[in-house]
Structure 1
Amino acid sequence: MSRSQFLVLAVFAAPGMAIDNGLGRTPPMGWRSWNLFGNNTNQTFLQAIMDGMVSKKRSVDGIPTSLCDLGYCNVGLDEGWEDCTGAHQFHYHDDSGKPLVWLARFPNITSMTEHAHRLGLTAGWYLNGCTCPEKEIIDSMYDKDVAALVAFGFDAIKLDNCGAQHDLDKWAGLINKTGRKVMIENCHWGKTVPTETWCPWNFFRTSGDVRASYGSVVANLQTTVGCKNGPGGDRDPGLSYQEARSHFSAWSIISSPLTLSMDINDEDVMNAVWGIVSNKEVIAVNQAYAGHSGSPFKQSASQVTLKDDGHYVTVPTWQFFYKPLGGGRTAVLLMNHDQTFHDLVLNFKDVPGLACQKCTVRCLYAHRDLGEHEHSFTAQAVQSHDSRMLILMPAQAQAVVV
C-alpha cells in the first residue's frame, strides 16, 4: 500500500498458527525503502533514515515525539543491496551459494545494523528478490543467506516471491536454528497462505504491491475480505490528504503492518502527513486485538469504478469496516469510495458484536466525543475518497482517550 508511502498490505496469522518465535504479536510498524525508492538506496541514505526515525522535531499533544516513540521502530532495507554484476555462476550468489553485497552502495552492512541498534531501532533485510532473481538455485543458498542474515545483525526478513527460494518451512527452520529471533514476512503476494495447522512466518502479504492511487489502495484492501487471522506505503504523488488518511485508517482497522516509505527527512512531506501517521488513537486501534483482526461488515449494492495503475477496479460505492477493541468498545471505519460526497449512515444493529444500541460515539480524526446516539449515527457529507473512523461504546461508559 502507499502514498505518503505508508503501508505494505499484510494480515497477521493467528497466534496459535504462526511461527512461535515470540514476535509479531501485534502488527509491526516501521519504514521500508521499496515503495518510494525502489533500487535507489544505499547505506548512507539508510542510516540517515534511521536518524530521522528517532528525531523529535515534531510534537504530539505538545510533547516532542519521534516516529519510534509512536511505534515505528523498524527500518527495512528492501531491494538494491545485491551485487548483480554476473561475475559468477548465479545472479547474486557466488558459486558456493553465498549472497553477494553491492559494496559500492553498502560497504559495511554490519555497521549499518549496529547504527540502528544504537538508536534503539531494529533492522530488516530482504531475500529471494526481484531485481536479479535466482531462477536456478542450490540448497546451500538457504544456509548461507541465513548465515549472512545473522552475521549482518538483522532482526527481520522479508522473503519475496521472484526467485526460486520458495520453501518457507526451510527458511523458518534454518532461522530458528540460529537462536536469533527474526521477524519473518511471507511476501508471496497472497499466493502462499496459512492453513489451520501451518504458518511458518509471522505475517503475510494478501496482495501485490500497492501503488500511489486510491484505486490501488481500495483494490488491495479488498484482498483482506475473508481473512480471519489475528495477532497479528502511502506515496505522496497520487493521493490527496483525505485519501492518505483513509489509506492509513483502513490498514489500521484490518491489523495490517504500518510500514512507512516516504522520505522522513523531507520537511514538506513530513509536515503534510504528520497528522495522519502520528494519530495515536488510530495507531491504538491497529495494535489492539480482542479476538478479531478487523473486516468489512456492510457495503453498498451500488458500485464505482476506480483507476488502479493503468487498469480499472470495481468496488462498492461505500464500505464499512469494524474491529472489536475489548471492554465493550468497537472501532468502525466508514469509507466513501465514490467520486462525490455522501452521508454515511451507520446502523448500530449492523455492527457485529456491538455491545450497545445507545452508544457514545468518538471521532478519532477530531479526537473528540460526538455525544450519545441511539440506534444509528450519520457521518454527514463525507467527501470523495474520505472516511470517518469512530469508536463506539455503551453510552454509560467513559470515553477512553489514548
Structure 2
Amino acid sequence: MPLRRPSWRRHLHRVAHGSLRRVRRGAVTVQMAVLAVAAAGGIAVADAAEVPARAAAAPSPVTTPPMGWASWNTFAAQINYNVIKAQVDAMVSSGMKDAGYEYVNIDEGWWQGTRDAAGNITVDTREWPGGMKAIADYIHSKGLKAGIYTDAGRDGCGYYYPTGRPAAPGSGSEGHYDQDFLAFSQWGFDFVKVDWCGGQAEGLDSRTTYQAISDAITRATAQTGRPMVLSICNWGVASPWNWAPSMSTMWRTSGDIIYWGQAASMDRVLANFDSAQHPEAQSPGRYNDPDMLIAGMPNFTAAQNRTHMGLWAVSGAPLLAGNNLATMSAETRAILTNREVIAVDQDALSRQGVKVAEDATGRQVYSKVLSGTNRRAVLLLNRTNSAASITARWSSLGLSGTGTVRNLWTGTDAGTFTDSYTTTVPAREAVLLLVTASSSVPEPTTTSLRGVGSGRCLDAGSQTNGTQSQIWDCNGQTNQRWTPTASGELRVYGNKCLDVYNAGTADNSRVVIWDCNGQNNQKWRLNSDGSITAVGANKCLDVPNNATANGTKLVIWSCNGGANQRWTRV
C-alpha cells in the first residue's frame, strides 16, 4: 500500500537503491534468468569447477506472474464486504476473469488491529458480515482466488498513516505470525501481501523477518493444505531481489507507483519499471514486482495505459489492476484484457526482458525471450519529449535472418524484415512487438572470470552506476556472473555493463559498472590468450601493479600479456 508521506518514501528509495551491500560469504539464493541477448565468443580456456549450487527455494504456488486486482489504489482503507463484492462481480462480467485475472486482493483497511483474549484477529462484522471467511468464500464462488494483507511489524501502515479510518494500533502480525497466517489460510485466502511500515519503524531486519513469515506460511499450508502466495512489500529495502526468491513469489523493488490522493504519473511508472530491472532474480514462480497497475486510473490516457501495460508485460511482472473495475471504460477494459499482451507477460519461461540497445539517449530497445522457436517480445521505448524512430536489430535480440513483426496493440502484422525493424514511437510512449525470426544464435553463457595473477574474480562491486569494478574472492554470486553478448558487452545483473568510464582511452582509465547503452566503451574482445581488450581504447582489462588483494580496483592498460591482464572462466 502507498505511504502518505512522500518525503519519507523518498528516503526509503535512497536506502533501497544506494550501494548494494553484498554478503561475501554464502550463496545468495537467486535463480539466474538467461538474458535475451546473443552469445559472443568465449574465452578460449578450459572451464574450471562449477559454481556451488544454491540452496533450494521454498515452493511457489504459481508458475506464471500473478494476475488480479487489488483494492488500495482506488479505495485506500475505505473497504468492506460490499465494496469487494462489487469488484469481484465486475472482474467476472468485464471479461477480466476470462482473460486470466484471478486474484482479488483486499489491501490495508480491512482490520483495525483488534484481537480477542486468545490473540485471534477480530473484525467488525457490520462491515464484514460472516467475517473474512465469508468474503473469501464469495470470491471462490466466482471461480477466483482471494488475497489479504498484513504488516510485518506490530503496527501496520494503518497505524502510522491512517487513510479514511482512525489510526489502527496493533494492525500488524509481529508476535502472531503462526496464528495469523494459519487464520488467513483457514479463512480461505490464497495470497497474502505483507507490508513493511511497522518493520521499518521498529528497525526489523528485512531478510530474517520475511523468512520467519515465509516459514509461518509453510506451516499453515501443512495444516490446511492451502498454499498462499507471499508478496513481500518492503519497497526494495535491503535489495530483496538478492534473497526474496528463496522465500516468496514476488517482492516489491521500489516505492509506491501512486500515493493516495495524487494523480497517476508516467514518471513514476518509468521509475518503478527501472527499479525492477533484476532479471537474474526472476524465474518461474519468482517475480520482481514494480507495484500494482495504475492503468485506467483518472487522468491517465489510453496511450499511457498501453505503455504502462507493455512495460509490465515485457518485464514479466505481476499484473494486479488497481482501477475501479465496476466503472472502467470499454477502452480501459480492452487494454487490460489484450490477450496478446497478456501472453507476453504470462509466457512460461517467466524471463524478464532486458535493455539490449539505446542508439540515442532515451530511445531504448528491450527484448524478452519467449517460449517457442526464435520468438522475442520487443518493447521500443521513447523516453524523450518528441517522436523518434527506434530500430530493433536482430543481432541485439539474439536472432538472425528474416523476421516477421507484429504490433501487439494494433493486432496487425507489419511484415517480414531482414536484420532489423524501424518504426516511429511517439514521445513518452512505447510500442510492443512480437518478432519471430527464421533463425537465432546461441544464447549467452554466463560465467565468472578469475584473474590468472591474483586468483580472484572480476567483481561488479555494486549495482550503482559508476562503481569501479574490482577483484574479490570467487564466490559465484551475481555480482561476479558475467555474460558476453554478440555485440561485445560483458553484462552483469542482467542490465549493467562493464564500462570504461567516460570513454577513456588513456592508461589507468577506470573500469566501472554502468547501464548498458551500446557504446564502444562498453565493448570488449575476449582473446585466445585470456586477455580482455576494451574495444574503444584498444587496451586491456588490468589489475594494477600485479596486485592480489581483495578490493583492488580495475583499470585499462596497454596490453602486455602479463598475468595481471589474463583471465580464466570459472
What interval of TM-score do these two structures reach, taking the shorter chain for normalisation? 0.7 to 0.9
Q: Which residue in 1 is equivalent to 2:277? A: 225
Look up the equivalent residue of 1:71 and give its one-letter code.
G
Pairs within 5 Å for 1:268-307:
269-290=328-349, 292-299=351-358, 301-302=360-361
Change (3 A) 1:395 1:93: same
Deviation at 1:284, TM superposition (A): 0.5
> Which residue, 12, 24, 32 being the options, matches 2:62?
24
Mapped contact 2:257–2:269 kept (Cα < 8 A): yes
Deviation at 1:204, TM superposition (A): 0.8
Deviation at 1:19, TM superposition (A): 4.6
Q: Which residue in 2 is equivalent to 1:389? A: 432
Structure 1 distance, partners of 2:90, 2:408, is 26
- Please, which runs of 5 or more residues in structure 2 have no aligned partner? 3-29, 33-53, 161-168, 259-263, 287-292, 441-570
Q: Which residue in 1 is equivalent to 2:234? A: 188
Change (3 A) 1:158 1:246: same
Structure 2 distance, partners of 1:196, 1:130, is 24
Higher relative contact order (CA 8 A, sep 6+): 1
Q: Which residue in 1 is equivalent to 2:406? A: 362
What's the Cα RMSD here? 2.7
Structure 1 distance, partners of 2:198, 2:120, is 15
Change (3 A) 1:18 1:110: farther
After superposition, what is the alpha-carbon deviation per residue over 1:69-128, rounded to whole angstroms, capped at 9, x for unaligned? 111011000011112xxxxxxx54556543342433223221111011111000000010
Mapped contact 2:279–2:351 kept (Cα < 8 A): no
**TM-score, length-scaled by structure 1:** 0.80
Change (3 A) 1:196 1:111: closer
The structure having more radius of gyration, on CA atoms, is 2
Structure 1 distance, partners of 2:84, 2:56, is 30
Look up the equivalent residue of 2:108 and give its one-letter code.
E
- Please, which runs of 5 or more residues in structure 1 have no aligned partner? 3-12, 57-65, 84-90, 303-316, 398-402
Structure 2 distance, partners of 1:394, 1:34, is 42
Deviation at 1:146, TM superposition (A): 1.3
Mapped contact 2:403–2:417 kept (Cα < 8 A): yes
Pairs within 5 Å for 1:62-73:
66-73=95-102
Pairs within 5 Å for 1:242-391:
242-266=303-327, 269-290=328-349, 292-299=351-358, 301-302=360-361, 317-326=362-371, 327-351=373-397, 353-354=398-399, 356-380=400-424, 382-391=425-434
Q: Match of 1:256, SS?
A: coil
Deviation at 1:190, TM superposition (A): 1.1
Pairs within 5 Å for 1:201-216:
201-211=248-258, 212-216=264-268
Structure 2 distance, partners of 1:136, 1:219, is 30
Pairs within 5 Å for 1:24-103:
24-55=62-93, 66-83=95-112, 91-93=113-115, 97-103=119-125
Mapped contact 2:353–2:369 kept (Cα < 8 A): yes
Paired positions, count: 352
Mapped contact 2:60–2:229 kept (Cα < 8 A): no
Q: Match of 2:329, SS?
A: helix
**TM-score, length-scaled by structure 2:** 0.57
Pairs within 5 Å for 1:111-260:
111-128=134-151, 129-132=156-159, 140-164=175-199, 167-178=209-220, 179=222, 180-192=226-238, 193-195=240-242, 199-211=246-258, 212-228=264-280, 229-231=282-284, 232=286, 233-234=293-294, 235-260=296-321
Change (3 A) 1:338 1:102: farther
Deviation at 1:23, TM superposition (A): 1.3
Q: Match of 1:68, SS?
A: helix
Runs of 4+ in structure 1 deviating by more than 4 angstroms, as ranges, are 13-19, 91-96, 133-139
Change (3 A) 1:162 1:26: same
